[in-house]
Amino acid sequence: MMLQVAHLSKVFGGLRAVDDVSLDVEQGRIVALIGPNGAGKTTLFACIAGFLPLNAGRVHFMGQDITGLPVHRIARAGMVRTFQITQPFAKLTVHENIAVGAYQKYPDRAQSWEHARMVAHQVGMEALLEQPAADLTVAGRKRLELARALATSPRLLLLDEVMAGLNPSEILEIIAIIRKIRDGGVTVLLIEHVMHAVMSLSDHIHVLSYGKIIAQGSPQEVVSNPAVIEAYLGRGSAAPAADVQAQVQHA
Amino acid sequence: MTSTLKPVPWALHAGVLAVAVAFPFVFPSSFMVNFGVMALFYAFIGQSWNISGGYAGQLSFGHVAFFGVGAYAATIVQLRFGLSPWLGLPVAALAGALVGGVIAVLSFRAGLRGSYFALITLAFAEVLRIVSNSIGITGGGLGMLIPLKVSSENFQFAERSGFYFLILVMAAGSIALAEWLGRSRFGAQLAAIRENEDSARALGINVFAEKVKVMLLSGTIGGMGGCFFAQYFLYIDPLIAFGADKSVEMLLVSMIGGAGTVYGPLVGAVLLALVSDVTRSLTQIQGLSLVLYGALLVVIIAYLPNGLIDLFTRKRRRRDGAKK
């Protein structure tokens, strides 16, 4: 098992942002974490990656208990996150941004810069290498987040909405890139709102609502789950759908 | 800011070094050599600020703390313990590093960033000034006078050019260090920390440790600068050693020249030395040079926010752009 989260809770004042969440991510898979806005997805990511202290629960990464470890230790162990609101090293070039990630794996300058170039090629940013990160478009910044994390040669990537704000053709490109990353041996856990991307990419989906996991399973299982439909569309929405299904079965 | 991770061409290093070596032979008058010494001295202590402030983005208003501790440590070793003043140089380096490390650990552990870090460094420097003013071993407010005894074993050169070449070696060393930062993993990590600490952490950089390391380095340089200063002027007191004006000068030469660039402090320091010598020879008004320098700073920040270095790199970038 690549990642095991057990009974994780995070409380902000009176708000249980993440409430007794348990989830497993198997090696070599693309696993999605979906849920309505404010469900606690990003908070859960931050807790897993060590950015926020937990109120309860344990996190195991590749069999090791990483609960409470500082962020950089978790990252060096091979679990690297990206940020929903992109956080580029604005005044550095794209190449330098990615090289910072690559340096974590290759201390030698020439090697890390070469590795950075290779990663840039992988995510389709080769033409932008010499651009300052500050000049990138939203799509470019999202890609840079991905590239920088990928350059550290992680075992598990936590991708926080890397498709938000992209146009349909950019989304298709990113989907292909993420698939290639998984095929290269990196396990992926992603938060995403773009449903067709989630459906086509994920092997497994966890649904978070009000801080709790309300459903999980294959994409097909999850979309037909009444609890999920209710979480997204409101109480009662699942019933007509069930009626329709019942009628179909009747006929 | 132009990227800090671009190596400077070796030919430029060679050219600057050649000019610096030739300078005292071309202008042998003691006025001109003194000008060269002061320019290189400010370039050296400016680099102390530049490494932590420009490269790692940890802006400090109290860098004089390292300088003053170095000046006092070296002088105390010489006058109170009767050791060779040359020994003062490594002692000053160690003392500067120690103070840098202590300030870094205390303030970064407390999570101080940005203006809070700047203010705490200012406070540390002020505390050191008051302490040096009130304890015995520093000579209190009277300061310490290093007796004149000219011999190179005694760190006192018959010719000013002796000091010139010593500070040239030191400044060249500090420039080499900055150049190494631009080429190394350490420098890349510092740039990452300067640009975005959360991202740096997310990629596996131990932000706290790297920031402490850079303050150790910065303190080392500042401390050595203090030792050189004491030996050059043969006198220190609390105001000279820990005066806020020197913190400001260390910061200004970097900012005016170009913070986070290899040659920023040197460019800024040459300008500072020029302004101060020209104003001093024209008028008797104390401190006018800093007024002029401040005015220059306003103009430069308004038109060249990345420092004078930008004049050269801009041109280069435009040429590079034209090639594409």
pLDDT(B157) > 50: yes
Which CATH class for the A3-217 domain?
Answer: alpha beta
Per-domain boundaries in chain A: 3-217, 222-251
Whether pLDDT at B324 is above 60: no
Q: Do A75 and B201 touch (CB under 8 A)?
A: yes
Mean model confidence pLDDT for chain B: 91
Mutate to test the interface with B, among A91, A136, A145 (most CBs of B within 10 A): A91
Cα B184 from Cα B7, distance rounded (Å): 10
Is the pLDDT confidence value at B153 over 90? Answer: no
At residue B286, the pLDDT reads 74
pLDDT for the residue numbered B314: 66
Kindly state whether residue B324 falls inside one of the protein's structural domains: no
Which tokens sit at B296? 């220059």
Global pTM?
A: 0.90
Q: Which residues from A are below 8 Å from B202, CB to CB? A: 49, 51, 71, 75, 80-83, 87, 149
Share of chain A above pLDDT 90, in %: 84
Residue A13 pLDDT more than 80? yes
Q: Give the separation between CA B90 and CA B171, rounded to whole angstroms.
A: 16
Specify the pLDDT at position B1. 43
By Cβ distance, the residue of A89, A109, A112 closest to B199 is A89
For Cα atoms B195, B197, B200, give the angle at the middle one, nearest 5 degrees: 90
Say which of A76, A81, A91 has its CB closest to residue B195.
A91
Whether B125 maps to a domain, the answer reads yes
| pLDDT interval class at B322 (50, 70, 90) | very low
Q: What is the pLDDT of residues B207-238, one digit of tens each?
A: 999 999 999 999 999 999 999 999 999 999 99
Q: CA-to-CA distance for A18 and A43, rounded, in angstroms?
A: 7
Contact B237, B83 (CB under 8 A): no
How many H helices and E strands in chain B?
14, 2
CA B50, B3, B197 angle in degrees (round to 5)? 70
Judge whether residue B73 has pLDDT over 90. yes
How far apart are the C-alpha atoms of B29 and B103, rounded to whole Å? 42
Stated length of chain B: 324
Q: Tally the C-alpha atoms within 13 A of residue B95's C-alpha that lie toward its C-beta.
A: 26
Measured distance CA(A104)–CA(B109) in Å, rounded: 23
Per residue in A100-152, pLDDT (tens digit) is 999 999 999 999 999 999 999 999 999 999 999 999 999 999 999 999 999 99
Mean pLDDT, residues A173-195: 94
- Residue A93 CA to residue B140 CA, distance in Å, equals 51
Q: What is the pLDDT of residue B317?
A: 56
Number of domains making up chain B: 1
B22 found inside a domain:
yes
Domain range for B68 is 10-243
Question: Does any domain span residue B118?
Answer: yes
Question: What percent of chain B lies above the pLDDT cut of 90?
Answer: 73
A143 sits in which H/E element: helix A138-151
